[in-house]
Amino acid sequence: MTKMRLISIFLLLLGSISLSLSSETDASKINWLGSAPDGTWTEEWFEAMPVDHYDLVNTDTFKMRYFINLHHYEEGGPIFFYCGNEGYIEFYIHATGQILEMAAEQKGAVVYAEHRFYGKTQPFGNESLSSAENLGYLTSMQALSDYALFIGHLKNTRIPGAKNSSVVAFGGSYGGMLATFFRAKYPHIVDMAVASCAPIYMFTDNGKSNNSYYYRDLTNIFVEAGCSKEAIYNSWGALRRLAKTAEGRAKLNQIFRLAKVSQIEIEGDIEILLGVFQQVLIDISMSDFPFETTAFNVMPAWPVNRSCEFFKDLKKSDEEYAEAMFQMVNLNKNWEGDRKEFCLKPGACPDDDKIGALKGWNWQICTEFVLPMCTQGLPNDFFENSCPFKSETNAESCTAVFKSIGYQPEMMSPHFTAVEYGLQLPTASRIIFTNGLRDPCINGGWSSTPKVEGSLVSLIVKDGSHMYDLCGSHVNDTESVKEVRKEIRRYLDKWLREMDGKPSTRGALSGLLPSFLLSLAVMLCIY
């Protein structure tokens, strides 16, 4: 496995983002809020955020961007606060419409804060990502301190009548990790949290002897949808054999419709194509919703089922395997059929990091979030064998990517997460963890089964993929996600009323959403 391919795989595990194969779109110019209910979002900036919350001699500050919606807010209502992930914050507003729907019921304010070093929140402007010295301030710990300080501003200055308002932290994927840690580390600031698909235990020291469970679960999602495990496994070897000859490489360039600047010219170039296919499998599994999704790439409803139409059976030739792989890539990246060619080669193609996540997130997984993941191959999964995970190889990969800006292997801190946040939550309370059985991240979360421990709650969407529960309501929503959303509402309502000293009005399964909200059918998830 090449260094570039290894890093790209790491990015997808927690980022859960769908990157275009070729695009000239500027993420900062995408109108992510165009379909938002009420159209009442305001973009604002917190002007004096400390660059370093822990060095009191360093007085440097930066501007943190956020979006706020007070359309349904009544004085004293709760603050629903989304902990920004790795990317432009508009992306997550678009992907998590359920939060605004719940805020409407609770007469709450909604705020989405952009994570430092992502989107437009760049502490050192255009130089933010240019040196290890600057990127040293890109940590989850610093980001949580940003949010803690910012909430004080919201309650005391920005939101009228909110001085005593309860704060509910929300987040999905990495944002879900932040919401969890925010509630656990700052219980005097955050009163409760909802963490969707938060893989808080996917790191070094997680106690798991086999870290190939992610790829095992990913494989099972496709096999249960009708894919042949052996057929997908055979595809890797098929492409490698084709890449060995000039004739085979020409065939690959033709099948995958590769742009001239991105063609497979030497045998080693095949690693790029294999990495893209692995990315596509992850993208499709995490976008497996019962409705068509939009934004970067239009995806059909239940794309895993659709993609398995290409891999139901074993193929008769290497070319047939390559064609099947292309059809899956085309489904993921070109469902509308308007793309005539694909550009894949790093450095030769337009920047495809549409949500502004690539460099920053790679830095984080090369420093504080070390992912001890590997693929085993058959019978565990349908990938090539890369086990066992080796810290030395991981460090080499990170050095290859970041050496030019001052990265050193010693900057990797594999035990950071366990030490800073812990591998258990013995004192935490009022956190709802949601996961989907069709999400390969599920076994890295707090629990893969429904359970309640004190006021820590695990809710499972039986047919849910990544962050499905936070998507805005849709007419095609499954019964399982509807039930989980009702339970989220029931717990939040109970806890908020306890904070206010009022009895809860919701039963075990609360009533349906107001009809005017259901009719919106917007804010579709785009992962």
- R_g over Cα of the chain: 23
Between CA 522 and CA 458 the distance in angstroms is 26
Is 205 in the active site?
A: no
From the list 217, 269, 318, 439, the catalytic residue is 439
Q: Are 177 and 471 in contact (CB under 8 A)?
A: no
480-494 as b/e: b if 16+ CB within 10 A: bbbebbbbbbbbbbb
Q: Are 373 and 211 in contact (CB under 8 A)?
A: yes
Is 469 in the active site?
A: no
**Among candidate residues 218, 279, 291, the one with its CA nearest the CA of residue 439:** 218
From the list 16, 20, 23, 173, the catalytic residue is 173
Between CA 120 and CA 330 the distance in angstroms is 31
Q: Does residue 388 have a cis peptide bond before it, meaning omega lies within 30 degrees of 0?
A: yes
Q: Can you name the residues that pair with 432 across neighbouring β-strands?
A: 194, 457
Element (H, E) at 443: none
CB atoms within 10 A of CB 451: 13
Q: Are 198 and 469 in contact (CB under 8 A)?
A: no
From the list 72, 94, 115, 466, the catalytic residue is 466
What's the half-sphere exposure (Cβ side, CA atoms, 13 Å) at 244? 8
To which residue do tokens 């508009």 refer?
90
Amino acid identity of residue 299, one-letter, is M
Is 188 in the active site?
A: no
* Tokens (6 digits) for 243: 């890449």
Helix axes 270-286, 213-224, angle to 10 degrees: 70
Q: What is the DSSP string of 407-456?
A: --GGG--TTHHHHHH-SS-TT--SEEEEEETT-TTGGGSS-SS-EEETTE
Query: Active-site residues: which are they?
Result: 173, 439, 466
